Amino acid sequence: MKKYLFVLLMALFAAGPAWADNVNGPGNLDWDSPLTWGSGTVPGIGTNIWYNVGDDNQTTIYVRDGVDAVCNHLYFSNGTHVNEEVVVYEGGTLTIDNYSWLGRWGNETGNNYNHDLKIFGGEVTINNAAGETYGLRAPEPDKGGSYGNDLIIDGGSLEILNGGGMIFGNDAKSLKEALDVVISSISVTNGYIDTEGPIYCEEGNGSISVNYGYIKSGGRFTFDDQETNSPATVDVTYGLLQGSPVEFSGNGASAVNLNSGYIVSEGELLTTNYGSSSANLNGGMLWSKGGMDLLNSSQNSFSIDEGFMVVDALTEAQELILGSCVAEGYISASDGVSDVYFVEYPETSAGAEDGFHAVSVVEPSFALPDTVEDGQTGVSIDGSLTWQTGREIGAASTDGSLITASYDTANPDITNHTLYLSESFEMLAACEPNDASTGEVDTGIVQGTFPASTTSYSLDGAVERDKTYYWRVDETLSTGEIIPGKIYSFETEKSFPSFVEGEELEDVWVDAGTDVDFTVSVDSISPETYQWYKDGAELTGETSATLSLPAVTLADEAVYMCEVTNAAGTVSQEAMLTVKRQVLDLPFDGSLAELASGYDAFVSGNEGETGSASYDTGKIGQAYDFQRVDTAGDPNNAQFVYNGLELADSNDLNFYKYGYTINYWVKADSVVPYEQDVTGTWQTIFGKEWRFDGEGEGSGRFGFVNQIYSYELFHLRRDTSASISAGIDDLYDNWHMVTFVFDGDPFADDPEDPQSEPVKHAYTYIDGELVGTDTEPADEYTETHPIPFVLGQEIHLNSNDEFDRNYTSQFFGALDEFEAWNYPMSKQEIAQMYVDIEGGNICTDPLEYDFDDDCKVGLSDLAVFAADWMRCNLVPLCE
C-alpha cells in the first residue's frame, strides 16, 4: 500500500504546478526579465507567484507591449506587505490560469494594504481553471485585515472565465471601522470587466467607478459596506453595470450615482435587506428586467433628476409597494419640488413591447418598437426598423398615483430621435448620447439622428445575416432633456439552411420488417434542395425532405445522412438505423458453437499454457467451466494450463457505439486447485479490449472489459473511463444473472433541468434488478478495435503486432447462456429474462402511491392513505 501511495503522490507532484516563485523587489521590474524573479526564470503557466516584497517602497511589475505573461496563481501579499502592483499596458496580456488575490492576511495595525492591478490598455484573463466561485479576491475571503486594494482599468479589459466572479472585501469589519479609509476600489474607463460568476463589493468606503465602459457579472452583482456604516459608492457615467440580479445593500449601506448610461438587473432588482441604500438618478436608466423587491422600503432613498427607473415584469404586490414609495417620498425629485411620474406602459397592440413600469421626473415618453418585436428572429437584412414616437403622458400625479400610458398621441415636445444599433449590448448601453449625423462612433455603433416625423431606419447595408443586434432610440425633448430608450434585440435571417430545433434526426432501433421514415425540418431564406446518403454513398433519386425505407432488413442497417443546400451553402444531419437482433448466443450445451452470428468459440491462451474445453452443470443444461489444471501433478512445481475462450473472426465484431445489451449467468469459484483462495484477484469474465502495454503511438486501453475483484463486479469502458461497479455478497459459488446495458443515444441526465447536458448512459443489472449506472460524454464512444472478443481472460498486446499476445486475469468458474444484442434493452425486458428462469416477481420502478411497498397501487394502499384522512395536528385548532 505504501508503494502505491508513494507512486500516486509522485504522479500528483509531476502533474501539479511548479513551485512558487517570489519577486525580487522593490523597484520597477519587468515581467519578462528573469531578474524580476527569485527563481531566475520567467514564470510559466504552472507557476504560483507570491508577490511578497516586504518593503514600504513601491514595487511595480510591468507587462509591456508584446509581452504575453502567464502564471498559475498570482498572490499579492501574504502578510505584512504593502505597495505592490502589476501594470498591464496596451499590447500586453496577462493570463492567470487559476484565481488571484489582492492582499490576504493582515491585522488591525494596518500592515497589509495597497495591492493594485492596473490595466492600461492591456488584456487580463483569469481562466479560473478549477471553477472557483471567485476568480479575483481583494482580499482573500475570510482572511481579512487587508485594505486599499484597487482594480483600475483604463482602455483595457479583465475577463474571468469558468463561472468565476470577483469579491472585494470580506470579514475585515473591525479593521474597516478602526481605520475609516478607502478599503478598495474598482475603476473602469474606456474598458470593461466581464465575469462569468458573481461580483461582490462589500467594503466600507469602497467604490466602483465606470466611465465609458462596462462591468458585467454573470451572476449576482452586490455592493454594500457589510454593516460598517461607510457606504459603498457606485458611480456610472456613460457606462454599464449589469448583473443577474443587481443588489443594493444586502446587509449594509450603498450609495449609487447614475449620471448617464445604464444599470441593468437581469433578474429582480434587490434593494436593502438589513441596511440602507440611496440611488441618485441624475441621468440614464436604472432598469430591472425581472421586477423589483424593495425590502425595508423606508430605508431606501431614490433621488431622481433627469434619470429614469424602468421595471419589467412588476408583480401586483411590487406595484403597490413601488407606488407607496413614490407617494410617501422614499422616491422623490432631487429638487424636492417636482412631482414624480409613476407610469405603467401596457403591452403594445402589435406585441412588439411586453409592457413595463417607469418612474421619473422628466415625462417618460419612451420610443417603442413597432414592426420588429424584441427578440424577433429572421429579420430581413434589407428590411427596416420602425418605432413609435414616445407617447404623451401629460402631467405627473401630484400624489404619485399610477398613470396608465395611452398609445393614442405622440408627445409633441419630442423634437428628434437618435437611433443606436450595435452587435454589443454592453457597448450600446455605454454609448454617450449624441445628436451627430449618421456615422460610426468609437464604440462601433451605427447611429443616426432623425426629426420627430421620421420613425423608421433602413437596415440595408447596416446589418449582416446570422447575427444578433441590439438597438435603442433616445428621444430628445424641446427642453434639451434626453429620454434614453430601452434596449431591444433582433436576429437577422439565417444564410445557411438551419435545422429546426427539437425536430432533428434521431437514431432508431427497429425490428426487421418495420417501415422507417427519416425526415429533416429546415428553415431557409432561399430555395433548398435535399440529397440523402447511406454510409456515405449517394442514394439516387432520394431528393426530398423525407427518406422512406419500407420493411427494413439487415441490409438497410447504416448511417443515413441528408445534405440540405441553398444559395448560401450546405449543411447536413445524420442518424443511425439499427435492425434489432441478437448478435451473440453461446448456450455452452456441450459445444462452443455460437448460434446467432457464427462467431464460434475456441480455447486459446499463452503458448504452453492452453488447456482443453470443459463443461459442468449449468443454470440451463450445461455451462462452460473455466479452470486451471496442473499438468505436472506436483503442488511444489505446478505447471498450470488454462482454458480461456476466444470468438473466431471476432476482430470486426462491433459493439455498438449506439447501444448494446450483454447478458449471462455466472458462478465464480472461490477456491481453485491446491486450495488457493482467488476472491482477492482480478478475474476477467469477458472483454473486447485493446490493451497495448508498450510505449508510443497506440499505447493505452480501448474498448471494454468485464471483471470481478473481491466481491464486486466491474464493467469498464476504456475509451471514456466510464465504469460501473456493483457489490454482490454471495458472488462466489452461487449462480447470478448479470446484464450490462449501454445506451449510446444521448439524453439529458436530468430531464427536468434545462441546463442538463445530454450524455450517454450505462447500466448494470444483477438478477434482473438495476444496481449501478454511469454516464459518459455525448461526443465520445468506444470504437471497434482489431482485437478478438475473449471470454474468461484478458489480452495484453506487447507490441504493435496483434499476434504478440499475453493472456492474463483468468476467470475461474462457470459461465452459461452468454448472449448479446445490438440495442439497449429496457428494465422490463431484463426483469422478464430473469423471472422466466427463476420465477417470482421484480419491481422495476417504485410507484408514488405504493404505501405498502408491494410495487402496485391497490385497495391496500388506499386503506393506508385513508387511515390518516381528515387528521389534523394544527395548533390551536383545525377547521
**What CATH number is given to the structural domain containing 555?**
2.60.40.10
Between the alpha carbon of residue 772 and those of residues 693, 697, 714, 716, 833, the distances in Å are 29, 34, 10, 12, 18
Q: pLDDT confidence of 484, banded at 50, 70, 90?
A: very high
Q: According to the model, what pLDDT value does residue 384 have? A: 94
Determine the 3-state secondary structure of 596 from DSSP. coil
Question: How sure is the predictor about 848, in pLDDT bands with cuts at 50, 70 and 90?
Answer: confident
Question: By residue range, what is the domain housing residue 271?
Answer: 198-340
Asked whether residue 21 is domain-assigned, the answer is yes
Q: How many domains does the chain have?
A: 6
Q: Both 179 and 211 in a single domain?
A: no
**Which pLDDT score is estimated for 698?**
46
pLDDT for residue 1 is more than 70? no
Q: What pLDDT was estimated at residue 879?
A: 63
Contact 113, 84 (CB under 8 A): no
pTM for the structure as a whole: 0.63
Do the domain assignments include residue 875? yes
> Which grid coordinates belong to 504?
432533428
pLDDT-derived band at 576 (thresholds 50, 70, 90) equals confident
In 282-397, DSSP assigns E strands to 285-288, 292-294, 300-304, 308-311, 331-333, 341-345, 356-360, 368-369, 376-379, 384-388
Q: In CATH, what number is assigned to the domain containing residue 455? A: 2.60.40
Residue 282 and residue 385 share a domain: no
Under 8 Å CB-to-CB from 516, ≥6 apart: which residues?
Answer: 508, 510, 548, 549, 552, 556, 577
860: part of which helix (H) or strand (E)? helix 859-867
For residue 673, name the pLDDT band (cuts at 50, 70, 90).
confident
Residue 607: predicted pLDDT: 80
Candidate from 302-306, 336-340, 403-407, 435-439 with smallest mean pLDDT: 435-439
Q: What digits encode the pLDDT tens for the residues 144-185?
A: 556 677 889 998 999 999 988 887 764 433 333 333 333 468
Instruction: DSSP letter for 493, please.
Output: P
Higher pLDDT, 700 or 846: 846
Residue 849: exposed, middle, or buried by beta-carbon count in 10 A (0-12, 13-18, 19+)? Answer: exposed
Distance of CA 311 to the CA centre of its chain: 29
719-759 pLDDT tens trace: 666 678 888 889 899 999 999 998 876 665 665 665 666 77
- Are 672 and 745 found together in one domain? yes
Flag whether pLDDT at 702 surpasses 70.
no
Q: How sure is the predictor about 112, in pLDDT bands with cuts at 50, 70 and 90?
A: low
| Residue 560 forms part of a structural domain | yes
Question: Cell numbers at residue 11, please?
Answer: 504522479
Report d(CA 152, CA 182) in Å as an integer.
Answer: 14
pLDDT at residue 863 greater than cutoff 70: yes
CA 784 – CA 777 distance, rounded (Å): 18
- Residue ending a domain, among 492, 518, 542, is 492
Q: What is the pLDDT of residue 839?
A: 92
Q: What share of the chain is helix, strand, coil (3-state, %, to 5)?
A: 10, 45, 50
- Grade residue 386 by pLDDT with cuts at 50, 70 and 90: very high
**295 with 384, same domain?**
no
What count of other Cβ atoms lies within 10 Å of the Cβ of residue 607?
7
The CATH number covering residue 685 comes to 2.60.120.200
pLDDT at 555 (0 to 100) = 95
Domain boundary among 168, 190, 212: 190
Phi/psi at 759 (5° precision): -140, 160
Q: How far, in Å, CA of 613 to CA of 388, rounded? A: 88
Grid-cell match 476472491, residue found: 679
Is 233 a domain residue? yes
Per-residue DSSP letter, 732: B
CA distances from 117 to 111, 167, 199, 380 (A): 19, 14, 16, 45
Q: For residue 438, is it within any domain?
A: yes
* Residues contacting residue 119 through CB under 8 Å, at least 6 positions apart: 87, 88, 152, 153, 154, 156, 157, 158, 191
Q: How confident is the model at residue 678 (pLDDT cuts 50, 70, 90)?
A: confident
Answer yes or no: do 391 and 512 share one domain. Answer: no
Q: Is the pLDDT of residue 72 over 90?
A: yes
Higher-pLDDT residue of 445, 384: 384
- pLDDT class for 552, splitting at 50, 70, 90? very high
> 768-808, pLDDT tens digit by residue?
999 988 877 655 544 556 778 999 998 876 555 454 567 88
**Per-residue confidence (pLDDT) for residue 746, from 0 to 100:** 65
A 10 A CB-CB count for 879 gives 4
Beta bridge partners of 769: 766
Residues 570 and 613 in one domain: no
- Assess whether 118 and 132 both reside in one domain: yes
Query: In the predicted model, what is the mean pLDDT of the chain?
Result: 84
Q: Tell me phi and psi for residue 817, to 5 degrees.
A: 50, 55
The answer, yes or no, to whether residue 529 has pLDDT greater than 80, is yes
User: Is the pLDDT reported for residue 106 higher than 80?
Assistant: no
Give yes or no: residues 186 and 234 share one domain.
no
> What pLDDT shows up at residue 9?
32
pLDDT of residue 341: 97
pLDDT confidence bin for 36, thresholds 50/70/90: very high
Quick one: 863 and 810 in the same domain? no
pLDDT class for 132, splitting at 50, 70, 90? confident
End-to-end CA distance of the chain: 66
Q: Which of 239, 289, 233, 242 is nearest to 259 (CA)?
A: 239
**What does the pLDDT average to over 484-499?**
92
Q: How confident is the model at residue 3 (pLDDT cuts 50, 70, 90)?
A: very low
Task: Kindly state whether residues 326 and 389 are assigned to the same domain.
Answer: no
What integer pLDDT is reported at residue 320 of this predicted model? 92
Helices (H), 90-235: 173-179
